[in-house]
Structure 1
Amino acid sequence: MELAVLDITGKDTGRKVELSNDVFGIEPNDHAIYLDVKQYLANQRQGTHKSKERAEITGSTRKIKKQKGTGTARAGSIKSGVFRGGGRMFGPRPRNYSFKLNKNLKRLARKSALSIQANDKNLVVIEDLNFETPKTKNFVDVLKALELDTKKSLFVLGNDNANVYLSSRNLKNSKVVKASEINTYGVLNANKVVITESSLEGINSNLSK
């Protein structure tokens, strides 16, 4: 697949790049995508949820009424979950939601996500971004030139670029990552995936293994 290379003003530079069919042209694997997205979202959970159970409630331990003869259900503790102010029965406890996926499956999921976006013509290749100073306005100008100011976008850079990252940090609809940080959820969650020329080699080397 060939794509034209645009400059930061959105104009065609006259150059084209060839996208690897092994990365951008495979048959998407829906189950691999599901598992990788599930793992990504699970890793975002803090798992610090907690409610007090019966043993953790402060209260009297005496038997609140006699066992028989009251005509109601027997009850042994005011801390029981059936009473107001008692502990919660089977409440949430702190836990780790993360789980393991093998590297080959994660690689397949990311190639599938990129292939879906490529097939839907949601990939854009631009020249390398480089700002002299971190300035949100500079990044907004790039978004407007590419007609992405009202859409969710993912920018993939070849290397660390603090100025570009800081310029985009305040924009909720745009995310900037390195080629090595691409994940399935981020690719599919974007309306457009903007790839810089220098990042293509990194993407191919990371996902073609």
Structure 2
Amino acid sequence: MQKKSAKPQPHGAPRLAPRQVRIIGGAWKRTLLPVLDANGLRPTPDRVRETVFNWINHQLGGDWDRACFLDLFAGSGALGFEAASRGAAKVIMVDNYAPAAHQLDANREKLKANQVTVLRADALALVRDLAARGQRFDVIFLDPPYQLDLLEQILPLCPAILNEGGMVYAEAGAPLVLEGDAVPDWLAGWEAVRADKAGMVYYYLLRLHENNT
């Protein structure tokens, strides 16, 4: 008899055959990386990543070699490895699901990506720990499972670990309300530098209002 897990895993049980994700720019352009085939794990599509990294490149002014990235809820690693491929100085990739973290680490080894660190950790607890240790990032990726309401829990913690002028990339299954009288407390202080929609996915590049930095 199989033991029941005391706590459900966010991605579900892994399947044997891995999928693949393609790096679309930088030093590892066109490289295919295996991705754990698990329920709820959805790599950011190529077209969306291309758009997002064009946004980020414009905001960074092409100055990647001093930029530090934090990829929370890393999952497939599509965002974090893309940032590393384009020359990011440091990328920390985080996932609390052991098989996903192991696959990320294997891909890091395959690429010999010394600027990438893979951590198996709870994202909320890790952000608090990073803030306590004074670590800061230029870009934070937030692509959590939509059904767990994690975005509204973790976004308010991000200002404590953002460098001045830093950005948050966020994906959501519903549009974010960032203007007007109906802005929820957890979105207060943020503005969308850029925003778009692909299918049922809404994605944003967010920055704090100047008076909130």
TM-score, length basis structure 1: 0.25
Larger radius of gyration: 1
Greater per-residue strand proportion: 2
TM-score, length basis structure 2: 0.25
Ranked by relative contact order (alpha carbons within 8 Å, sequence separation 6 or more), the top structure is: 1
